[in-house]
Amino acid sequence: MVSENEVIHHLKLCSFENWVGTDQHRHARLDVNKDTLALSTAPTATQGRKGSNRLTWKRIASTSVNS
């Protein structure tokens, strides 16, 4: 089931070969006031520590060229 806060990447190519052909689910948070989109992984445990990864995109102001 997909929620309104979820993005699914269908991988055809990937630097992690074992991910090719898989679906990678990410939690998505869009902040229209800050012009950001944050994608994060589900928490996982590694060496007894729990954590997740997050990538945040920020829109930059566009510049227009007037002739």
Report CA Rg, the chain: 16
pLDDT tens figures, 14-53: 999 999 999 999 999 999 999 999 999 999 998 889 999 9
The CA-based dihedral angle spanning residues 39, 34, 4, 13, taken in that order and rounded to the nearest 10 degrees:
-30
Global pTM?
0.71
Q: Could you give the C-alpha distances from 66 to 62, 63, in angstroms and in order?
A: 13, 10
Q: Could you give the C-alpha distances from 60 to 34, 35, 47, 57, in angstroms and in order?
A: 10, 8, 38, 10
pLDDT(5) > 70: yes
The residue to which tokens 């007037």 are assigned: 66
